[in-house]
Structures are given as structure tokens and as C-alpha cells.
Structure 1
Amino acid sequence: MKQEGALASADFEGVGSIMEAQWSRVLDRLKAEFDEGVYNSWFKPLALVNVEEGCAVMAAPTNFMRNWLESNYADRIRRAWKQENPEVTDISIIVLSAFKASEAASTDTSGLLDNDEREERETGGPATPAARPSVPTRASRAAVVQEPGNDYGAPLDRRFTFDSFVVGKSNELAYAAARRVAENTAVNFNPLFLHGGVGLGKTHLMHAIAWTHKEMFPDRRVVYLSAEQFMYQFISSIRFKDTMAFKQKFRSVDLLMIDDLQFIANKDSTQEEFFHTFNALIDHHRQVVISADRSPTDLEGIEERIRSRLGWGLVADIHPTDYELRLGILQQKANSVPEVEIQTEVLEFLAKRITSNVRELEGALNRMVAHATLIGRPITLEMTQEVLQDLLRANDRRVTIDEIQRRVADYFNIRLSDLLSSRRARQVARPRQIAMYLSKQMTSKSLPEIGRQFGGRDHTTVMHAVKRIEELRRTDSVLEEDLLHLERIFST
């Protein structure tokens, strides 16, 4: 059965049996190279439109999928085609409504965008097409139309369900709220705002909400996507003079979930559209779920009117994991690979030593399982220490910039939002410089990365802060005492 929103090459009259056979073998090559999840998410929905003048033209269901393929897999698809048919030297990926693009591509819409969005517009988004544009044939133009009811969001990961989510004190509120939204068509809090650090389970919960809601209410329309994808689709709608379709598709959903909202910080045009989309959905009693790396009040670069509305519903914080939760996650993961025996002392050791986030914890276990299956060695404590020595060494003093910011703000009794703001008052500026200095000393992040996490500041600002604190530390005994106290906090 053809998936809703997907195309088949047979939908295009210009595709002959020889080209169809070649395309089938190209897909076989890609399927053999990539794992099943990648293949099903990105290559299987593609359809062959035509092969003409050495260029293979394929159709993707959405703009986002087209952009992602061109950014990440264009070279590999091109090589697969050339291996199958040496006359094919180029590829072009179009979208279902691509025949409209050639009529609107020359229209200048840059005046509607802010600087960051204008750059995406002028370079063709995050994935500047590697292949030359191709105009579909007459037959394909008749077939390339947007199917009604198609989801415009990102693919969902089947591993991310409520059953596979391990609940502990640090995430129990977020989990309970997520289940309430997933299992009901209306709840008494809207929006649901999830926030926490990297790798703590925000995306897992959002995928779980989508899967459960789709299964319980198959007639309701559910869309999950990242804020980055939302922005790129918005830019694309402006470029192709299709903003009304964009508004209609996002304001007609029953459950909209947007991940990593902090991405649209300082992107004024996208924030304007998000604001109106959010209001339209709330006014029509449609559920909205948002996630970010910090609470609404601490989202620097997000308009105040948006931050205030994000706090209307329920704000649920996902705290860093404790030992019991980490051990539970590892035990569940170990149970999913019964062919490999993992000693309890190994799981306990990993839960104690790897404390940064769940992704790194699961990654460590995956490395152990892979090593055991490929080399044939049993997973023991000694083998764990040997295989993971680099990871364990890094975690011995792992401190995140988020943690530094929170600790410094608490120590100097200022708000975290002030620390990340543009305020230059001494009572804020000096703690900010100290936090930048500690971030440079205690993390492996580069100066530009540190600057981005301090409200999008330039790397020269961070460099100046580090140099200034180093100078003052040698002459200011009070500052030296403050720094020693903070460093002791992070070392415990």
C-alpha cells in the first residue's frame, strides 16, 4: 500500500519500464548502504519523474525532505545512479508542487526576511541544491500535485514511545503531562512547554505524544517538526508565493509540536509567523506542544509577547538524571539486547560515571555491545574501562555551559535571563564575564560556541572576557575567592 503523501514512480507517465527498473536497482543500492530507518525515512518516499539529458529527476513529498536529501545524500544518490547508468551524471530533486517554483523563483522576497533568514533565502536554505534545477515534463506536471491530508512534519522515530521512556523524579512531571496530552483531545493546559538540557528526553516525549495520539485518534491531524524546519518551510512559502498554503496547513492541525524553539531566536519574520500560528491554534482550542533548552522566561532572542504566551499553559522542566534513573535506562536498554550478557556491576559503573545526558549513556552501552558482538569478548568491568577510557576520562570533569550559567547566576543572585541579556550594568556584566571564563576553562567548547550560548555574542566578546578575568584574578583577592569557590562547586 502506498503511504499517504508518498509518490510512486508509476504516477509519472514519462517513466518507462527501463528507467523504472534502473530506479529500482538504485534504491536497492541505497537500501544496502544505509540502515532501514534511514532508507524508509528519506529514500523510500522518493519517486522517479524522468531521466533526460543525463539528469535523473526525482520527486520528494515535502520541501523539507527535498532540502535534507540535497544537503546530506545528494552525492550518494548521484553515485548510485552513475553506477547503475553511466549516462546519468547529475540529479535533480523536486517537490510535489515543484512546477510552481519555476514561475516564482525569480521573485525577490528578501525584503520580508531578517538578516539570518535572508541569507537562507539567498543561498537556497540550509541545503543549497547541488544539482541543476530541472523543469518537469508535461506528464509529470499533471501528476506533481500536493496530496490532501499530507503531514508536513519530520519523520517520527518508532523507538521513541512512552513504553521505552524511563520515568524518574527528574522527568515525572513532563512524562505525566505528555501522556495527558497524548491520550486526550482536550486538556486544561495549552500549550505544554517542555524544557531541559541536551539529551534529557524532550524529543523522545514529543515523538511518544505523536505516536500515541495518532493511534488513539487516527482522524486527527498531528504535525511534529523542529523550529528549524518550521523556519525553512516558511521561507520556502515566501519564495514560491505560497504563504496562504503555509498558513492553512499549520493552522488547520489538531496537534502541533515544535521542537527546539530556541533556534528561531533573533529571527524576527519567523517569530512573527509563529506568533500568529500559535494564537490561531490556541483560539480554536487546538493543542500545541513546544520544547526548548530553557524555560520561556530565559529564552533570549525570543519576543516578549511569545515568551508570555508560552507560559500560559504548563511549563515542565526535565532535570538532569540522577543515578537511579540512569541505572533504570541502562537496564531497559540491556534487556533489549538479550543476545549479549551485561553484568550488573557494569551497568552500575556506567550509571555512576557517565552523568552528562541520556544520549551519551546509551551511546556508551551501544559501543560495549558492538565491541562484544564484533570481537567476541564478554562485557566485563575491565573490558568496559578499557573500551570507554576516552569517554570516562571526559566525564570525570564534564561540566556544561548551561550548568555554569545557572551556578554563576545563583551564586551572584541574578536572574539567568539577565546573565544572557545585553545588559551592561556591572552587577550583571562581571558575573557574565566570569561565566564565560569558566566556560572556556572547564569545557571543550570553542569561543564562537560559547558566544552563541551567551545570547549570540561574538567570539571576540568571549575572548575579551576571558582575558579580563585572567588579569583581575591576579590582582583582585575578592574575585579570586569567588572563582575558587565556584571551581570547588563544579569539582564536587
Structure 2
Amino acid sequence: MSLTSPKVANVFCDHIIAIDDCNNIWERIQNQLRKLYGEAIFNSWISFLKFISNNNGEVLLSAPTRFIKEWISIHYVDKILSLWQSEDNTIRSLDVRVIKEESNVVDKEGYKVITTSYDNLSSPLDLRFTFDNFVVGKPNELAFTAAKRIAESSASILGSNPLFLYGGVGLGKTHLMHAIAWHIVNSSSKRKVVYLSAEKFMYQYITALRNRDIMVFKEQFRSTDVLMIDDVQFISGKDSTQEEFFHTFNALIDQNKQLVISADRSPSSLNGVEDRIKSRLGWGLVADINDTTFELRLGILQSKVENMEANVPDRVLEFLAKNIKSNVRELEGALNKVMAHSLLNGKNITIELANDTLSDLLRSNYKTISIDEIQKKVSEFFKIKLSDIYSTKRTRNLSRPRQVAMYLAKILTQKSLPDIGRSFGGRDHTTIIHAVRQIENLIKADVNLANDVNLLIKMLR
């Protein structure tokens, strides 16, 4: 609907104002933005903006969706405000709101009346989460390929509806869902995409019940072309929400609309979720995102450093990739922390700096190792009986492996020296101290023993 009429009854102003001058200014600003950013960017983003009002120096523009509004707000709103102030020095601020024009009514005085509603169905998207920024490896290859196909398709894909993504925290489920939404929004596709968490779905449902407009709620969700719900495990045990989710799911599938669902576990493992829902979630393509490999973690770090145009030695990246295995979010956070520490303290980024800066995090990423595991692994490695680890025999072929086991128990567990001594046949803590010092001295002089100890550490971790 055109907003160029000289007489507009504007719902955001206290009074009706002629907007010819403002429309002319906005047209000139648009031409400047087209020249500044190019035709492609202008058509993809800025062309969707509409001038709404200038109310005492406060300019209001409208955007058709939350996605476009957020992108404009981050990348272009400051420039638009600057250009507007160059045209009119009374302008103090500029705001962009999501406004859906629902009617084109002309009142008896000849004014166009703009009725509006706000698009708060979708959750905000993270600008970093695109397909270009997603590092692909064996653990996530299937999920990435399926997500890309759905984003590029003009309709739901047979055999991939719904697409169910599952995996642990910080492995990339949400990244892929945001990437699908961004790709669709930035393409020429007219598909309506909605992304939100299961928690927000429940909140919207409860609000609709309280306001007695459940039919509006149903229509909103069932008129989408691509519905993406994150962390669906949240509806576990919430019977009413599950009931509405079930009916929404069926309605969209019947209309051949695409669904993308994520969870921290497979459909069959969703405890507290009705069997009929679990069955339907498993109808399409179930793609698990496995724990990252060393190669994938290293690739993620290299990509992040490249995007930041930072200088981090490869051996430091390898150190981080080797020792932080929990999830990608924690891995990237560790890199940020090391870089910040280097900048603030004026120190070069080294393995030593990374180790000191991340000492608590590194400790938590090591798996919990028991003394029993150490004793068993050492006895197998040196080909002695497990009982010899506890015995009082002092022959060299037994005492050296026993000392190695004591040394490993000291550096790989949080156990006290008396606790370690009790685990080795009730030995005194001074015996443990002697064994630890003995091995520390030997691995400095004996390359073979040092290699054996390092290999054992790798096997245990």
C-alpha cells in the first residue's frame, strides 16, 4: 500500500500532518542509499522500508518483518538518521518498527487510515548464524546438507518433513535453524518463515488462551510456510501445549508446509512427550549432530580467527582444539578469552598464556579419571597383573609401573596423597610423594619412559 498521499491519518501521531515534504526527503535519502550501498543491498533491505511519520523530530519508518527490522537497525539506521539530519536539522531520532498494513481504508474526509499490528511471532535471529559461517565436518555433515536443501527449496522436501535436528548443547542446532531463516529471508522466495523456541511457543499459546483469541493464534502459526521450533524438549510434561503443538504440526504437514524441529535428544528419547508426537517427529529426516572431532574444532577456530582478522599461532589453536571438547560455544569463548587476555596485558598469544588463562576451563574439560582406571590401564600397558600394583613386591619390573601409576593418580585426579596411598595397598603419603618425584626426574632423563607416560595420559583422557 502506497504511503505517498498528502493526507494520512497516522496512528502514531497525536495529530494529522501533511507528509509531502517528508516523503520527498525520504525519496532523496533512498536515492543516496541506493548509490552508497548498491542496487543489490538496496533491493534486499532498504527498499522494504516505508516512511510513516515525523512527529516533532522523531521519524518513524516501518519494516514488514522483524528480520528486516533487526538487520536495518544494526547495519543502516545510523546512516539513514545522519542523511535525514542533513536534510532537516530538527530531526532528533529515527525508529524502525515492524508494521503490517492490514487495510487500505479511506475515511469520509479523504484520509487514508493505516491500521497496524506488530509481528512478534518470531524470535530474533543472530546475524552470525549463517550457512557461510557454519564449519562442516563429519559430525554435522548430514544436518548441514539437509538444512541447506530446505532453505534453498521452494516447498517442503519429501522425506525431510519434518527435519529433526538433535544433539548436545553448543553443537550447532540453533546455528543451522537461524541459517535456514536468514537464507529464506534474503532470497527472492516469498515463503513466510517463523523461528521460535518451544518456550516461546508455549508463552504465545498461554497468552492466546488468556486473551481469548486462540483462533488468531492458530491462524498465525498455520499460515506459515516454514515453521521452526527450537528445543522442543521444553514442552515435556506440558499437556495442553503438546496438544496444540500436535494439531499445528498436523495442519502444516497436511498443507505441505515445512517444519524444522530441534531437541537435545532423539524423538524416541523425549521423556514426558506423548507417543503420538514422538512418532510424528520421527516421520521425516532425523539428523543427529555428534560431538565435534579434533579436526572440526580446529576448523572452527581457524574460521573464527580468519573472520576476526586476528593473528593466533596455529599451535595455540591446536592446543585449544585438543583440550576443549565440550561444545563449540565454549571453544569459541575460550579463544575470545585468550585473545582478550593477550590484548589487555600486552602479552603474546602462546600455549603457556592459554593454559594459564583457561586453567579452570581446561580442568573441567578433562574427563573424570578414577584411580582404578589408572591402575588397570598401567597394568595392561606394562603387562603385569593388576594385583601387582597393590603388592609390596619391590622388583624393578613391578616397582616402576607402580610408581608411574602413583604419578598419574597425582596429576590426573583430585585425590589427596593419603587417598592415593590407600588406593595402593594402604601405603603412606610419603611413599606417594617419593614415587611422584622419582617419575618426574626420570621422564626428564629417560625419553622412552617419557613417551610411555605421555601415551598413557592420552589413553586415559
TM-score range normalised by the length of the shorter chain: 0.5 to 0.7
The answer to whether the 8 Å contact 1:162/1:205 transfers is yes
Residues 291-440 of structure 1: pairs in structure 2 closer than 5 A: 291-338=262-309, 340-397=310-367
Q: CA deviation at 1:287?
A: 0.3
The answer to whether the 8 Å contact 1:12/1:143 transfers is no
Q: CA deviation at 1:372?
A: 2.2
Q: CA deviation at 1:151?
A: 5.9
Q: Give 2:148's match in structure 1, choosing from 175, 179, 183.
A: 179
* Cα distance in 2, alignment partners of residues 316 and 333 from structure 1: 25
User: Quick one: structure 1 residues 372 and 11, their matched pair in 2 at CA, closer, same or farther if it must change by over 3 Å?
Assistant: farther
User: Quick one: structure 1 residues 276 and 383, their matched pair in 2 at CA, closer, same or farther if it must change by over 3 Å?
Assistant: same
Residues 14-413 of structure 1: pairs in structure 2 closer than 5 A: 14=14, 145-147=116-118, 150=119, 152-186=121-155, 187-188=157-158, 189-338=160-309, 340-397=310-367
- Structure 1 residues 362-404: Cα deviation after superposition (integer angstroms, max 9, x where no partner): 00001112222222222111111111111111112369xxxxx
User: Considering only aligned residues, what root-mean-square deviation do their CA atoms show, in Å?
Assistant: 3.7
Partner of 1:12: 12
What amino acid maps onto 1:360 in structure 2? E
SS of corresponding position for 1:190? coil
Q: CA deviation at 1:491?
A: 5.6
TM-score by length of 2: 0.56
User: Quick one: structure 1 residues 324 and 345, their matched pair in 2 at CA, closer, same or farther if it must change by over 3 Å?
Assistant: same
Partner of 1:423: none
* Cα distance in 2, alignment partners of residues 268 and 294 from structure 1: 19
- Structure 1 residues 338-376: Cα deviation after superposition (integer angstroms, max 9, x where no partner): 2x3200000000000000000000000011122222222
* Cα distance in 1, alignment partners of residues 131 and 265 from structure 2: 23
* Cα distance in 1, alignment partners of residues 320 and 288 from structure 2: 25
The answer to whether the 8 Å contact 1:220/1:254 transfers is yes
Q: Structure 2 unaligned segments of length 5 or more: list them.
A: 1-9, 17-51, 56-62, 67-97, 101-112, 370-412, 414-456
Deviates more, 1:295-304 or 1:213-222: 213-222
What amino acid maps onto 1:380 in structure 2? T
* Cα distance in 1, alignment partners of residues 99 and 208 from structure 2: 13
SS of corresponding position for 2:154? coil
* Cα distance in 1, alignment partners of residues 99 and 308 from structure 2: 41
Query: Based on CA coordinates, which of the two structures has the bigger radius of gyration?
Result: 2
User: Quick one: structure 1 residues 286 and 350, their matched pair in 2 at CA, closer, same or farther if it must change by over 3 Å?
Assistant: same
Q: CA deviation at 1:143?
A: 7.9
User: Quick one: structure 1 residues 370 and 398, their matched pair in 2 at CA, closer, same or farther if it must change by over 3 Å?
Assistant: farther
* Cα distance in 2, alignment partners of residues 228 and 302 from structure 1: 14
* Cα distance in 1, alignment partners of residues 123 and 175 from structure 2: 13
* Cα distance in 2, alignment partners of residues 388 and 395 from structure 1: 10
* Cα distance in 2, alignment partners of residues 300 and 215 from structure 1: 37
User: Quick one: structure 1 residues 157 and 398, their matched pair in 2 at CA, closer, same or farther if it must change by over 3 Å?
Assistant: farther
* Cα distance in 2, alignment partners of residues 96 and 300 from structure 1: 40
* Cα distance in 2, alignment partners of residues 96 and 343 from structure 1: 49
* Cα distance in 2, alignment partners of residues 144 and 303 from structure 1: 41
- Structure 1 residues 150-176: Cα deviation after superposition (integer angstroms, max 9, x where no partner): 461101111001111011110100011
What amino acid maps onto 1:375 in structure 2? N
Partner of 1:103: none
SS of corresponding position for 1:170? helix
Q: Structure 1 unaligned segments of length 5 or more: list them.
A: 1-9, 17-46, 51-60, 65-94, 98-141, 400-441, 443-487
Identity %: 59
- Structure 1 residues 80-107: Cα deviation after superposition (integer angstroms, max 9, x where no partner): xxxxxxxxxxxxxxx999xxxxxxxxxx
The answer to whether the 8 Å contact 2:154/2:189 transfers is no
SS of corresponding position for 1:301? coil
SS of corresponding position for 1:236? helix
Q: CA deviation at 1:257?
A: 0.2
* Cα distance in 1, alignment partners of residues 272 and 15 from structure 2: 49
The answer to whether the 8 Å contact 2:11/2:114 transfers is yes
* Cα distance in 2, alignment partners of residues 323 and 178 from structure 1: 23
The answer to whether the 8 Å contact 1:341/1:378 transfers is no
* Cα distance in 1, alignment partners of residues 211 and 114 from structure 2: 19
Partner of 1:406: none
| Matched pairs, number | 286
What amino acid maps onto 1:160 in structure 2? F
What amino acid maps onto 2:254 in structure 1? D
TM-score by length of 1: 0.53
* Cα distance in 1, alignment partners of residues 211 and 368 from structure 2: 46
